[in-house]
Copies of this chain bind each other. A is one copy, B any other.
Amino acid sequence: MTSTATRAPVRVILFGMGTVGRAALRLARTRQWLHPVGAVIGSSASARGRIESGEHPADLRWSTDADLLLDQLRPEVALIATRSPVADVKEDIIRCVERGVSVVTSSEEMFDPNVADPSAAGEIEAACRAGGAAVVATGINPGYVFDVIPVVIAGASWDVQRVSVTRMLDCSVFGRTVHRLLGVGYSPAGFEEARRAGIIRGHIGFEESARVIARVMGRDLDRFEENVRPLIAEQTYQLAEYVVSAGETAGVVQDATGWVGGTPWLRFDLSLHVDPESVGIQTRDHIRIEGENTLDVTIQPGTQSILTTSALLVNTIPSVLSAPPGLYTATDLLPAAPWLDADPPPGIRRRIQG
């Protein structure tokens, strides 16, 4: 049932038609070697409205019934851009891989599912091997700025005294649902309450990124600590979906520290704001690996979240289809790269249509 010789486009199914899913669909349509055949959408009215009003390929099938689409469309790879927690994507991942459909997901926790849910990671790994499919998570973060890029830069390192990554980003590209999770659009009291209740998690994935960096370098983090605090608006911000008033949270500052042998070894800082320039923040990503051959890297302007995450989903397809069945972290696969030819990349795993 597998072959590496066919020149037919690779059949892709998407799970989730939020901002990332829609961007991934738009990008996949520009790659001649990819054929987006279907989209699994949520059952909410807004999910249905988004797909009905969007410009999609005439032959794109969509449904809330994932099993139906998987069985009827027989895709070769799935891009799952629905939710962050392992618990929320596990079922969709397993229904794909048990049918031999490999998965690239933007779920932050799936970047290293052993942090949040080792037992789910084991289940997914077993399903991958049984179904003959591979799974990996990627995105701007985790998947790029806070882990893959630092690890690749560190290829030139001697000792590694300290890893630090700073990202300042414009979060106006996200909708209100994501803002609520990030901590944007709250009164100060509401922010504290939502943070205590675990509704606000800030950016998800710092611990996953940190543990992957450490593991790739043969280090073990003996302690990991994270903080998030609000940036209060001093003016009104009119956003696409709603208004952030003066006195409400217009952004957050988040940091994380990882210790090795009792010493701070890794430091992450993330500032996000609905209008960074208004508060004097220039978007940028900064990576510094200190040691005998210190490496200091700046991406400026900072990488745009939606475009970057959707690109990584699509550009990881060749890597995930080249890997033996299993559950991977992105650092255990060949790095994502944009495949620009009309024919599919050589050597990828194909499923011949029955």
Contact (Cβ within 8 A) B345 A218 = yes
- The answer, yes or no, to whether A298 is at the interface (CB within 8 Å) is yes
Q: Which residues A302-354 have CB closer than 8 A to chain B?
A: 303-304, 307-308, 311-312, 315-316, 331-341, 343, 345
- The answer, yes or no, to whether A295 is at the interface (CB within 8 Å) is yes
- The answer, yes or no, to whether A292 is at the interface (CB within 8 Å) is yes
Q: Which residues does chain B contribute within 8 Å of A331, judged by CB atoms? A: 334, 337
Q: Which residues does chain B contribute within 8 Å of A311, judged by CB atoms? A: 155-158, 293
Question: Given the complex of chains A and B, what is the CA–CA distance between A156 and B315 in angstroms?
Answer: 7
Contact with B along A192-225 (1 / 0, CB 8 A): 0000000000000000000000001111000000
Question: Given the complex of chains A and B, what is the CA–CA distance between A300 and B284 in angstroms?
Answer: 15
Question: Given the complex of chains A and B, what is the CA–CA distance between A151 and B312 in angstroms?
Answer: 12
Contact with B along A263-307 (1 / 0, CB 8 A): 000000000000000000000000000001101111111011001
Contact (Cβ within 8 A) B296 A296 = no
Q: Which residues does chain B contribute within 8 Å of A149, judged by CB atoms? A: 152-153
Quick one: copies of this chain in the complex? 2
Q: Which residues A129-180 have CB closer than 8 A to chain B?
A: 140, 144, 148-149, 151-160
Q: Which residues does chain B contribute within 8 Å of A151, judged by CB atoms? A: 335, 337
Contact (Cβ within 8 A) B216 A341 = no
Q: Nearest CB to that of A153 among chain B residues?
A: B149
Q: Which residues does chain B contribute within 8 Å of A144, judged by CB atoms? A: 155-156
Q: Which residues does chain B contribute within 8 Å of A296, judged by CB atoms? A: 299-301
Q: Nearest CB to that of A138 among chain B residues?
A: B155
Contact (Cβ within 8 A) B156 A340 = no
- The answer, yes or no, to whether A227 is at the interface (CB within 8 Å) is no
Q: Which residues does chain B contribute within 8 Å of A153, judged by CB atoms? A: 149, 299
Q: How far is the CB of A27 from chain B (nearest CB, A)?
A: 6
Contact (Cβ within 8 A) A334 B334 = yes
Question: Given the complex of chains A and B, what is the CA–CA distance between A340 and B221 in angstroms?
Answer: 13
- The answer, yes or no, to whether A238 is at the interface (CB within 8 Å) is no
Q: Which residues does chain B contribute within 8 Å of A216, judged by CB atoms? A: 337
Question: Given the complex of chains A and B, what is the CA–CA distance between A146 and B316 in angstroms?
Answer: 21
Q: Nearest CB to that of A341 among chain B residues?
A: B218
- The answer, yes or no, to whether A235 is at the interface (CB within 8 Å) is no
> Quick one: which of B298, B299, B316, B343 contacts A300, CB cutoff 8 A?
B298
- The answer, yes or no, to whether A30 is at the interface (CB within 8 Å) is yes
Contact (Cβ within 8 A) B158 A338 = yes
Q: How far is the CB of A173 from chain B (nearest CB, A)?
A: 12
> Quick one: which of B156, B219, B292 contacts A312, CB cutoff 8 A?
B156
Question: Given the complex of chains A and B, what is the CA–CA distance between A152 and B303 in angstroms?
Answer: 14
Question: Given the complex of chains A and B, what is the CA–CA distance between A308 and B338 in angstroms?
Answer: 26
> Which among A148, A299, A332 has the highest number of chain B CB atoms within 10 Å?
A299
Question: Sorted from nearest, which 4 A-B pairs have the closest CB atoms?
Answer: A218-B341, A155-B336, A293-B307, A156-B308
